[in-house]
Amino acid sequence: MTIIIISFVLGFISTKIFIGFFKGMLTQAGIVRQNYMGIMIPVGMGLVFLPYIIMNACIADYFHDEKVVPYYILGVIAMSLAGVVDDLVGDRSSSGFKGHFKALFKGTLTTGAFKALFGGAVAFLISLSFTKEIFEIILNTLLIALATNFFNLLDLRPGRALKIYTVSCIPVLIFSSEVSRLLLGGMLSSALAYFWDDIKARTMMGDSGSNVLGASIGIIAAYEFGIWTKIAILAALILVHAVSEKYSITKIIESNRLLNYIDKLGR
């Protein structure tokens, strides 16, 4: 437990230090995008999570010689880099799985289709490390892939994805092993360190950040939970994705007084 606390504190402090450097790097490189208020701000700030993710994986690997550690770090970094592609050259002319794959079938590879295909392949590779049972491989693959994309769907307003991530991490941390608590706890500390910049719309973490949130919690859930718990989580993720194909998540939140209050809290 002591090493988990130390890791959490280190993650928060180090990420706070990294934020200024990454913000300056992205601004100087002209990697900016108009946010929902029409203000140009740095995008791709999710890269700020990567330094401590690697540092924390080193700590986890030193204290816990478990197979999940290298696959966790592989999955999170790979998903983040897939998000970088969308942050840099993303085309917003297509949206949703339906839109991206419709374009693909017409011979056009969108960044969204690339993320889905690449993310699915990464999720499949990680699933193979947990089990050789066909059903569970498929289950883990879908859970990791959809969890990753779930936070993409949420990251349309400042602080929204990070609020849901923080709440979602709590039960996963409670019911996980020590190595998973160390890995996910370190990621959570980085997310909390970045939270203020995000909710005040000073920067956008972009897909390079939201992918990290989803992949980190998806991989740990796939590794730690039993079949029925994973089926329940996957069913919820499928439902959210199905709804998002027809309706705006933002409009659904804004139409509910309580959800809208929570969503705007802190902005």
Could you read off the pLDDT of 140-189 as tens digits, one per residue? Answer: 999 999 999 999 999 989 999 999 999 999 999 999 999 999 999 999 99
Place 222 in a pLDDT band, splitting at 50, 70 and 90.
very high
pTM: 0.91
Residue 232, H or E segment: helix 227-246
Predicted confidence at residue 145, as pLDDT, reads 95
Rounded-to-5 percentages of helix, strand, coil across the chain: 80, 5, 20
| 152 labeled binding residue | yes
> Among 206, 208, 209, which Cα is nearest to 33's?
206
Predicted confidence at residue 99, as pLDDT, reads 63
Give the span between the Cα atoms of 214 and 165, in whole angstroms.
8
What is the C-alpha end-to-end distance of the chain, expressed in Å? Answer: 34
Question: Taking a C-beta distance cutoff of 8 angstroms, is the pair 111, 95 a contact?
Answer: no
Question: Taking a C-beta distance cutoff of 8 angstroms, is the pair 48, 194 a contact?
Answer: yes
Place 33 in a pLDDT band, splitting at 50, 70 and 90.
confident
For the chain, give the mean pLDDT.
Answer: 90
| 207 labeled binding residue | yes
Strand, coil or helix: what is 202?
Answer: coil
Strand, coil or helix: what is 192?
Answer: helix
Predicted confidence at residue 91, as pLDDT, reads 64
